[in-house]
């Protein structure tokens, strides 16, 4: 199914809205040859892959209340840092924090 993105929506918003599961954001992004944190444009069409696991109760909740989540931070708001977690080749969880208004990068 193809859906139109609303202003400030993210892949996580779309995953919750159409499947009820935020973890489907990655599958939706990949199906659209995008990264899960890529910025989406209002009006852009995004494909929601068929066969993703879903929580119907969550989808029904949003639909019944006509909720349309849009959680992308506003452009003029200060976002102090971004943290990413990954698993290295040795199987250890690592984090990187990038402070957006400075040149600091902190590796843990």
Per-residue confidence (pLDDT) for residue 69, from 0 to 100: 87
Pick the more confident residue, 89 or 2: 2
Query: What is the pTM assigned to this prediction?
Result: 0.68
The mean pLDDT value of the chain amounts to 79
Q: Residue 67's pLDDT band (boundaries 50, 70, 90)?
A: confident
User: Average pLDDT for residues 16-21, to the nearest whole number?
Assistant: 93
pLDDT for res 108: 47
Q: How far apart are CA 80 and CA 63, in angstroms?
A: 33
Structure confidence at residue 16 (pLDDT) = 92
| pLDDT top residue among 40 and 89 | 40
Q: What is the mean pLDDT of residues 4-32?
A: 93
* Strand positions, DSSP E, the chain: 2-4, 45-47, 81-87, 93-99, 105-107
The residue with greater pLDDT, 105 or 90, is 90
């Amino acid at each position: 199914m193809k859906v139109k993105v609303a202003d400030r929506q993210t892949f996580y918003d779309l995953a919750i809205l159409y499947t009820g599961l935020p973890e489907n954001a990655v599958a939706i992004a990949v199906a659209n040859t995008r990264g899960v944190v890529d910025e989406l444009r209002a009006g852009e069409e995004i494909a929601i892959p068929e066969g993703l696991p879903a929580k119907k109760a969550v989808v029904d909740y949003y639909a019944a209340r006509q909720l349309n989540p849009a959680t992308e931070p506003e452009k003029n708001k200060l976002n102090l840092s971004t943290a990413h977690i990954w698993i290295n080749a040795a199987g250890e969880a690592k984090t990187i924090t990038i402070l957006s208004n400075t040149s600091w990068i902190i590796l843990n």
